[in-house]
Amino acid sequence: MSTEQGQPTLRDVADEREFTIGAAIDPDSLRRDPSYWKTASSEFNAVTPENALKMGALRPSRHTYDFRDADAIVDFGRENDMYVRGHTLVWHNQKPDWFQAWDHTDEQIEAFLRNHIHTVAGRYRATIDAWDVVNEAVDDDGSTRRTVWSDAMGEGYIADAFRWADEVTDADLYYNDYGADEVNEKSDAIYDLLERLLERDVPIDGVGFQLHALAAHPDPESIAENIERFRALGLDVQITEMDVAFPDDDVPADAAERQADYYRAVVEACLEAGCETIVTWGVHDGGTWLRSFKDFGERYSGDPLLFDDRYERKPAYRAVRNALEKHRER
């Protein structure tokens, strides 16, 4: 693991700038790999459980919760004075294998979801700072995504989820989604959805843009414009799951430099627009989800993060640190 003797860590710079820079954390790597937890604690001031707080991971059987992995990550964050994001209470994916919607009435599904939110968010009332309450409820065309939750409760499940979370936690509550980082049809739909919910006094504090920059890299100027319009609604805006890759069959010769330039541009756009939190989706390239992800036949380069497989700091790392340092000096 490179130390770049004499240089401040990314966390040093972020703390001084009062900026939140985080990473998604895997519990097994945290337990088994000293370089992993040393990098996570020294270079980041925020953590998100990558999968440990998703419903499927938490609910191994109908009457059982397993909080061991989630507790390990939350405790790690607290012990290292880090901002902890909870991800996620309501999602259409990664539900428990034993949960089959057709075995339940609409009323039973509603009660199941309410009880899940109360149990999980309530457990971490004082230890999780922010929750992605509802994740990816809007489809790519801007319509409400059809899910087990919407089938049983209609679009109203979104408002209910936020209200149920607000009943049991002191955390800030976020709506989180992909593909809406810049101004486009989907982000317009999310804007309209959140505006409607706010008009009904639904307790929403912010919106999370995932920013998985894969085949297409959203325009940083449009990202800034998008951040500004959501902030004008009174919402905080966070970049919650950032990584930067290229299609496997079209990786440029200067990929590391182009990746660094894009990270820098996004950080600069965020700072100018008032976004104060960026979370990368993983600590280092060796643990990225992209190495096992395949999207409609497309694969992406498996080196999308700030640290390489050996925990060496990449050009992207220095680009992010330098962008924060430059802004701090203004």
Q: For this structure, is 18 an active site residue? A: no
Asked if residues 94 and 137 have their Cβ atoms less than 8 Å apart, the reply is no
Tell me which of 43, 50, 136, 182 is the catalytic residue: 136
Contact 221, 192 (CB under 8 A): no
Residues 6+ apart with CB under 8 A from 123: 67
DSSP conformational letter for 103: G
Decide if 320 contacts 11 (C-beta within 8 A).
no
Alpha helices in the chain (DSSP H): 10-17, 27-32, 34-43, 55-58, 68-79, 106-123, 148-153, 156-168, 185-199, 220-232, 255-273, 315-328
Q: Is 239 helix (H, G, I), strand (E, B) or coil?
A: strand
For residue 215, give every residue at least 6 positions away whose Cβ sits within 8 Å of its Cβ, in sequence order, or none: 246, 247, 298, 300
Catalytic (active site) residue 241: yes
- Which among 43, 50, 182, 241 is annotated as catalytic? 241
Pairing of strands 236-244, 172-177: unpaired
Extract the tokens encoding 23.
Answer: 């990473």
Number of Cβ within 10 Å of residue 55's Cβ equals 19
Instruction: Count CB neighbours of 248 within 10 A.
Output: 13
Q: Please, what sign has the CA dihedral across residues 3, 51, 214, 224?
A: negative
Q: Which amino acid is at 264?
A: R
Contact 226, 255 (CB under 8 A): no
Active centre residues (catalytic): 136, 241
